[in-house]
């Protein structure tokens, strides 16, 4: 599948939008997608950022001179520096030959008008990365990886009801290093502190944090991270050089090691919040933009991080002084943060977008360990007729019996080279079969169930399929209903289909 990504960076926008799109691009490419970025030069060399990660980027024309009148219905319209109509034309022209199946757009400057225009011009589906819900959207998928009590309610007024919503930090768009990166190990005292105020830090909050640490009486090592897009970089270099035991790092490829080696992180309340959560480090979030107030207070209320809505040195010093002496609170924050983000969100989003490319293959003996882990997971057992844990030896004996059985068809669903689930058909004396399936438990909520079931049906080719679903298992009931099954009883479903192959005498033709 071809996926295009439309994203910008500037002093106003920052670099976080490009960073999270690059994280998703890596996951999409790993899952077999062909990628193309489209970006406009708005003062930061986003094309170079994209190229440095190994992706092809097309630069749109620079914004025209003269007065630009932003659309009043889009609160951040000025960030695009051109009208939505103009950007639709430029984007469609840049991507005409690429012919994308999906366009992923990450811009607060564009809304429903942009989505409709690009869809009409290119005939593709639209996925939007958003976290504001402050304008009308008209896309097939919205990815909002921020923390919220109810994402569906958050978007109720601006998003069509039939749109899919991938909401919450479970879908956090982190780079490939985070899934297996070393986590922070809690220590009693704060030996060192890390500071990252975002890729731009236009207001030079990093310097205020250094001042605040002096006011709070912290004399230990401090490591500051920023990027070459920081307009205050030289002034920050000077301030760091003046402070004993302070150092500055610029343009790190990822922050995972930096986050894990310090006992306290001080950072802007933007996308890096989820990177800190994944590593599980205690954090003081400094609010440096209005839109961050929609999420940072919720994290503070849940005890996942502390929040500093006032970035002045004296206010920061007060917050820091309290955290430095409260080991129990820091430990609690670290544990709650780690439970929130596992580092696999970009993979989940990528697989959700590429669900239509799912294929099935016959299961093999070497799938045994993977199938055992999936089937024995508590969430899978809870949805099964038998919820008891499975013994490994019994599982292996079962698989050894299923694989050669001509009346049983066991398939593994894959997207690219990633196995995502299992579907089995148990045939009777005719072209009738009982179906059962389960996904990799790490991929629940990605919408892969229908693709797995339909691909399995096409491979096994029964004329009549029956399924039994626990009465309390509403997700599975909706899955079968979505795939054209009808209820044949309180907990049973069936589907009649026109089979292209028939069971031959003595066994199933796929055996």
Each residue's pLDDT, cut to its tens digit, for the chain (511 residues) gives 999 999 999 999 999 999 999 999 999 999 999 999 999 999 999 999 999 999 999 999 988 877 788 999 999 999 999 999 999 999 999 999 999 999 999 999 999 999 999 999 999 999 999 999 999 999 999 999 999 999 999 999 999 999 999 999 999 999 999 999 999 999 999 999 999 999 999 999 999 999 999 999 999 999 999 999 999 999 999 999 999 999 999 999 899 999 999 999 999 988 899 999 999 999 999 998 888 888 899 999 999 999 999 999 999 999 999 999 999 999 999 999 999 999 999 999 999 999 999 999 999 999 999 999 999 999 999 888 788 899 999 999 999 999 999 999 999 999 999 999 999 999 987 889 999 999 999 999 999 999 999 999 999 999 999 999 998 899 999 999 999 999 999 899 999 998 775 444 344 444 4
DSSP string for residues in 179-233: TTPPPP---SS---EEEE--S--TT-HHHHHHHHHHHTT--S-EEEEE-TT-TTH
The 10 Å Cβ neighbour count of residue 491 is 15
Tokens of 146: 């921020």
Tokens of 269: 């309340």
Cβ-defined contacts of 233-236 (< 8 Å, 24+): 235/204, 235/207, 236/201, 236/204, 236/206, 236/207
User: What integer pLDDT is reported at residue 509 of this predicted model?
Assistant: 45
Label residues 49-80 b or e (16+ Cβ within 10 Å = b).
bbeebebebbebeeeeeeeeebbeebbbbebb
The 10 Å Cβ neighbour count of residue 325 is 10
Cβ neighbourhood burial of 335 (10 Å; 0-12, 13-18, 19+): middle
The 10 Å Cβ neighbour count of residue 10 is 19
Helix 233-242 vs helix 205-215: crossing angle, to nearest 10 = 20
Residue located via tokens 């930090």: 169
Of the candidates 482, 485, 501, 503, the one whose C-alpha atom is nearest the C-alpha of residue 493 is: 485
User: What integer pLDDT is reported at residue 501 of this predicted model?
Assistant: 59
DSSP string for residues in 371-395: HHHHHHSHHHHHTSS--SPPPHHHH
pTM: 0.93
Cβ neighbourhood burial of 500 (10 Å; 0-12, 13-18, 19+): exposed
Of the candidates 196, 235, 240, the one whose C-alpha atom is nearest the C-alpha of residue 19 is: 196
Tokens of 148: 């919220």
Tokens of 349: 């989003």
Which domains occur in the chain, in start order? Answer: 2-171 (3.40.50.11190), 193-340 (3.40.50.2000), 357-496 (3.40.630.30)
Cβ neighbourhood burial of 405 (10 Å; 0-12, 13-18, 19+): middle
Alpha helices by DSSP H, listed for 343-448, are: 345-353, 368-376, 378-382, 392-402
Of the candidates 85, 148, 152, the one whose C-alpha atom is nearest the C-alpha of residue 120 is: 85
């Amino acid at each position: 599948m071809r996926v295009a990504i439309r994203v910008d960076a500037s002093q106003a926008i920052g670099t976080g939008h490009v960073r999270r799109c690059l994280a998703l691009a890596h996951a999409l490419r790993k899952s077999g997608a062909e990628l193309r970025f489209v970006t406009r030069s708005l003062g930061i060399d986003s094309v170079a950022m994209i190229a440095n990660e190994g992706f092809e980027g097309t630069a749109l024309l620079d914004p025209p001179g003269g007065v630009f009148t932003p659309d009043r219905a889009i609160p951040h319209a000025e960030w695009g520096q051109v009208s939505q109509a103009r950007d639709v034309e430029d984007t469609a022209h840049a991507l005409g030959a690429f012919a994308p199946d999906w366009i992923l757009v990450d811009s607060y400057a564009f809304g429903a008008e942009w989505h409709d225009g690009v869809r009409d011009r290119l005939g593709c589906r639209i996925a939007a990365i958003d976290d504001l819900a402050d304008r009308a959207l008209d896309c097939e998928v919205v990815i909002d990886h921020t923390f919220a009590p109810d994402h569906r309610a958050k978007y109720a007024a601006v998003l069509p009801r039939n749109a899919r919503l991938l909401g919450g930090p479970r879908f956090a768009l982190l780079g490939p290093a985070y899934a297996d990166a070393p986590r922070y190990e809690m220590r009693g005292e704060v030996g060192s502190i890390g500071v990252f105020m975002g890729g731009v830090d236009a207001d030079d909050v990093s310097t205020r944090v250094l001042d605040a640490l002096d006011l709070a009486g912290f004399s230990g090592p401090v490591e500051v991270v920023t990027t070459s897009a920081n307009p205050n970089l030289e002034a920050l270099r000077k301030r760091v050089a003046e402070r004993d035991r302070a150092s500055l790092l610029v343009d790190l490829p990822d922050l995972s090691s930096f986050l894990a080696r310090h006992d306290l992180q001080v950072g802007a309340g933007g996308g890096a919040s989820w990177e800190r959560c994944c590593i599980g480090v205690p954090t003081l979030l400094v609010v440096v933009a209005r839109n961050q107030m929609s999420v940072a207070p919720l994290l503070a209320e849940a005890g996942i991080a502390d929040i500093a809505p006032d970035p002045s040195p004296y206010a920061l010093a007060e917050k820091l002084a309290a955290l430095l002496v409260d080991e129990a609170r820091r430990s609690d924050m670290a544990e709650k943060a780690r439970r929130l983000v596992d580092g696999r969100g970009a993979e989940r989003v990528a697989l959700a977008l590429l669900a239509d490319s799912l294929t099935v293959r016959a299961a093999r003996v070497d799938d045994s360990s993977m199938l055992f882990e999936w089937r024995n997971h508590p969430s899978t057992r809870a949805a099964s007729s038998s919820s008891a844990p499975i013994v490994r030896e019994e599982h292996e004996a079962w698989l050894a019996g299923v694989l050669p059985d001509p009346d049983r068809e066991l398939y593994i669903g894959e997207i690219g080279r990633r196995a995502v689930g299992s579907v089995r058909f148990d045939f009777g004396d005719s072209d009738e079969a009982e179906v059962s399936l389960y996904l990799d438990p790490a991929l629940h909520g990605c919408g892969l169930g229908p693709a797995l079931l339909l691909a399995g049906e096409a491979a096994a080719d029964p004329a009549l399929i029956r399924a039994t679903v626990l009465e309390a298992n509403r997700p599975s009931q909706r899955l079968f209903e979505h795939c054209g099954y009808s209820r044949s009883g309180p907990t049973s479903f069936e589907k009649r289909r026109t089979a292209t192959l028939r069971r031959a005498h003595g066994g199933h033709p796929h055996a």
